[in-house]
Amino acid sequence: MKIVHAVLLAAAMLSQPAGAQVEQTVEGAHRFLMLTVEQGTSSVAIDIGLGMSVTYGVRTVEQCRQEEYTYDIWGSKGVRNRCWNEERYANVTARAHPLVSTAANGACATILKFTDYANPDYADGWKIGPRGIDSVTLDWRKVAKVTANGSYVDVSPSQPGVQFRLASPDLAKRVAYAMEFLRQECDPAAATGF
């Protein structure tokens, strides 16, 4: 009986303390990103070449013009308003897309899935159509920098540009740390020592 207790005591002393940190791995970083997104509080802004979260918008504007006209057979003249609707097009800044999920695509790529929405009345009468994309793949071998700024995490350069918007600055720091870990682990130049 004393031997069993001694073995159990030795095993308990050799095991990790309760607060010890689990070894950081690429799989763990991908899992952390997935669990963070599953909380439902994260969104992503995408730059497809127009600017961060900028998309194509259209709005209808009523145009009116006063014109002179003849209103009877004697040549009497009057002024009337002639009105018509005219569509105007512009690039407008949209809301960030709610993140739906992330998934590892091998060790060095992460697929981000998000909601591509159409916003019928965004602001000042602008209507925004869907952007036509609902996922982006981040190739960590090509990412040069991951930066946390408040509740935002910028990944650059990546094409398209990606900015994460998280629930808090503390969570943004943790996400940026996991992303920086992935970037460093996947850096093809790391083996050169520089």
Strand order across the 135-139 sheet: 135-139, 109-114, 97-104, 43-47, 161-165, 152-156, 145-149
Place of tokens 């970037």: 183
Tokens of 138: 């981040």
**H or E element at residue 11:** helix 2-14
- Residue 30 is predicted with a pLDDT of 92
Name the more confident of 130 and 143: 143
Identify whether the C-beta of residue 69 lies closer than 8 Å to the C-beta of residue 18.
Answer: no
Taking residues 50-78, report their average pLDDT.
73
pLDDT tens-digit readout, 76-91: 787 877 777 777 666 6
Highest mean pLDDT among 17-31, 135-149, 155-169: 135-149
- DSSP assignment of 117-183: --BSS-STT-EE---S--EEEEETTS--EEEEETTEEEEES-SSEEEEE-S-HHHHHHHHHHHHHHH
- Residue 10 is predicted with a pLDDT of 42
Average pLDDT over all residues of the chain: 77
In three-state secondary structure terms, 93 is strand
- Residue 67 is predicted with a pLDDT of 82
pLDDT above 90 for 17: no
- What is the set of domains in the chain, with CATH numbers? 23-54+95-192 (2.30.29.30)
- Residue 13 is predicted with a pLDDT of 44
- Residue 75 is predicted with a pLDDT of 76
pLDDT above 60 for 181: yes
Residue 40 sits at φ, ψ, to 5 deg, of 80, 15
pLDDT class for 18, splitting at 50, 70, 90? Answer: low
pTM over 0.85? The answer is no
Q: C-alpha 49: how far from its chain's center?
A: 14
